[in-house]
Structure 1
Amino acid sequence: MNIKTVSQCTLEEVLRAWNKGFEGYIVPIDMTAEMFLQRLIGEGLSVEHSIVAFDDHEPIGIVMNGFRHMGGKKIAWNGGTGISPTYRGKGVSRLLMEETLAIYERENVEIATLEAIKENSVAIALYERYGYVITDHLQFLSGEYEAKVEHTSAIRTEIIRPEQLPHVQFYQEDVPWQCSWHSIKQGEARVFYNEANDVLGYMLYKTVWGKQGELERVILYQLEVLEEYKVDLLAHFLASVTAQKVNITAVNFRASNPATSYLVANGLKVTTEQVQMKSKSNHSCQPNENPVY
């Protein structure tokens, strides 16, 4: 068994490692070459620091890694760990984790992050043995929504580029990797102000349009109101995009976010739950126990 970086592999090998690695997974994530490359670029994943495990010439496991600087710290993200079904339970996960943590150490990573499906207890236990702890609970939401507001004249809306969000007062930088402005550069952002020009909140999102030019879906990555008791403002925020009934998908919203409760109370359903996990740079590359995965 040997390990190569993604940059040392063919696209066919990497794609096979990914699709076999997530075969039978709780949430299907089978990818075409185009989908994989779009994700690689869009989410800032590194081909030099992502790895594929081989048994002879057969790709049997994969870990995709990305790096960013946020809040003055170097952050690493495990963007997917998959093992081919016939090799699960044979120590491949352990091998990949140890190589991944060694990469993080060489790259002077200060905080390592990842997300895992809430029901995937085997994966969560593996990460915990390598120093990760659960820091948040995340939810995917989906459903039909209609903003019901009487007027929005007291709220000023400023449309900006996602790249400008970090310069907005009160912007929360510590969000799941896929919800950061870095991953949504093709999206849109809005900041909301009151009559005194104080920031009320902001949103980061994408719009999906149909063939006839109709708005089909709004994909929310961040929706924040700065004062929790003012959740009624969220209707005004969403109405600034459309006041018509529309399908909304919310990606990796924190369960504790008032916007999550608001959306559920107004027709959206929880479709998937994840845990966010983090590990500080002082973790050891040796597991706390000696499991075989």
Structure 2
Amino acid sequence: MNIKIKKLTDCTITEAVTAWNKGFEGYFIKLEMTPETFFNRLVNEGLSMNHSIIAFDEEKPAGIVLNGFRLVNGKKISWNGGTGVATEYRGKGVSKLLMEEILNIYQEEGVEIATLEAIKENERAIRLYEKFGYHVVDSLVYLSGTPEINSSSGTEIQSKTIRPEQLPTLPFYNENVAWQCQWQSVKSGEAQIYYDHDQNPLGYALFKRVWNQEGKIEKILLYQLEIIQDYDEEMMQAIFAKIIGGGNNPVNFITINASMKNAATQYLLNNGFTKTTEQVQMVKR
């Protein structure tokens, strides 16, 4: 085994996609990508080709790490957007070489906080990250469910639609969310701010509505739902009605990496939403 590491910029798209698909073969969830979906992910999630790496054994892709960088709360953070090692190279030290290389890159880039997520059941990966100084700070869940909607409830709330890029201007915007839930990763989505009848802010949501061929909402991907006031059943139902866009028709909601520390997440779990995937959020300072 003769491992050499190259930047993604020095590799072909075929090599990159092969490294990714081989690296996540037999993974807990299906992560296989085409060249198109791989490229779209790099762009949509702000991943850096110049700071992402592929390990090669001679000409054979053996492992991959995707990386992104952002300023959050005035600090430079990095995100490991996926570390995968091909089946035949697992347990042979390739993941250790990859981690050493990316931590060198983070140091060169002046990163203050390094972040990543790992599937909760992937104990082997979690142990590896812990060896390199990461520690678990939160649990993140994908939830699926159909909230009860009552757009004509007695609770009066008003909503204002804004662009996701405008969210950071809100004094109550929470920047401390998982990378894929930050507004920079959801520029093609929608955002709403909610107010009571006295124009006091209640919170905000960041989401994407997915439409079917008949022009009806098929599902809603919920990236952030932050409630900053005390809430009740009627208020939450009114908020979901605003996200759907009116009407009482049931629509399936899927949360993306929702924090278990978020009160809205607990509300959904207490109201029939089911957990489909759970990850741990890990940080190295």
Give TM-score scaled by structure 1 length: 0.93
CA distances 1:112-164 after superposition (whole Å, capped 9, x unpaired): 00000000000000000100010001110112333135336721100000000
1:106-185 matched pairs, under 5 angstroms: 106-151=108-153, 154-185=156-187
Q: Match for 1:84 among 67, 83, 86?
A: 86
Question: Over aligned residues, Cα RMSD in angstroms?
Answer: 1.3
8 A Cα contact 2:155 2:234, kept in partner:
no
How far residue 233 of structure 1 moved from its aligned partner, in angstroms, is 2.3
How far residue 232 of structure 1 moved from its aligned partner, in angstroms, is 4.7
> What residue number does 1:248 align with?
253
Quote the Cα distance in structure 2 between the aligned partners of 1:144 and 1:195.
27
Distance 1:3 1:152, change over 3 A: farther
8 A Cα contact 2:190 2:206, kept in partner:
yes
Q: Match for 1:272 among 270, 274, 277?
A: 277
> What residue number does 1:35 align with?
37
8 A Cα contact 1:169 1:199, kept in partner:
no
1:39-78 matched pairs, under 5 angstroms: 39-78=41-80
What SS does the aligned partner of 1:75 have? strand
Q: Match for 2:235 among 233, 236, 239?
A: 233
8 A Cα contact 2:221 2:255, kept in partner:
yes
How far residue 238 of structure 1 moved from its aligned partner, in angstroms, is 0.9
How far residue 256 of structure 1 moved from its aligned partner, in angstroms, is 2.1
Distance 1:152 1:62, change over 3 A: farther
Partner amino acid, structure 2, of 1:150: S
Further displaced range: 256-265 or 58-67: 256-265
How far residue 234 of structure 1 moved from its aligned partner, in angstroms, is 2.0
8 A Cα contact 1:21 1:60, kept in partner:
yes
CA distances 1:223-269 after superposition (whole Å, capped 9, x unpaired): 11113555652221111123320011101111121211222233321
Quote the Cα distance in structure 2 between the aligned partners of 1:76 and 1:232.
39
Partner amino acid, structure 1, of 2:218: E
What SS does the aligned partner of 1:101 have? helix
Quote the Cα distance in structure 2 between the aligned partners of 1:151 and 1:119.
41
> What residue number does 1:258 align with?
263
Partner amino acid, structure 2, of 1:117: I
Further displaced range: 79-88 or 248-257: 248-257
Quote the Cα distance in structure 2 between the aligned partners of 1:150 and 1:69.
41
What SS does the aligned partner of 2:283 have? strand
8 A Cα contact 1:22 1:30, kept in partner:
yes
Distance 1:28 1:131, change over 3 A: same
Quote the Cα distance in structure 2 between the aligned partners of 1:168 and 1:275.
28
Distance 1:126 1:199, change over 3 A: same
How far residue 196 of structure 1 moved from its aligned partner, in angstroms, is 2.3
**Structure 1 regions of 5+ residues with no counterpart?**
281-293
Give TM-score scaled by structure 2 length: 0.95
CA distances 1:54-76 after superposition (whole Å, capped 9, x unpaired): 00000110000000001000000
**Structure 2 regions of 5+ residues with no counterpart?**
none
Partner amino acid, structure 1, of 2:275: V
8 A Cα contact 1:228 1:258, kept in partner:
no
Instruction: State how many pairs are aligned.
Output: 280
> What residue number does 2:210 align with?
208
Further displaced range: 260-269 or 124-133: 260-269
Partner amino acid, structure 2, of 1:28: K
How far residue 25 of structure 1 moved from its aligned partner, in angstroms, is 0.4
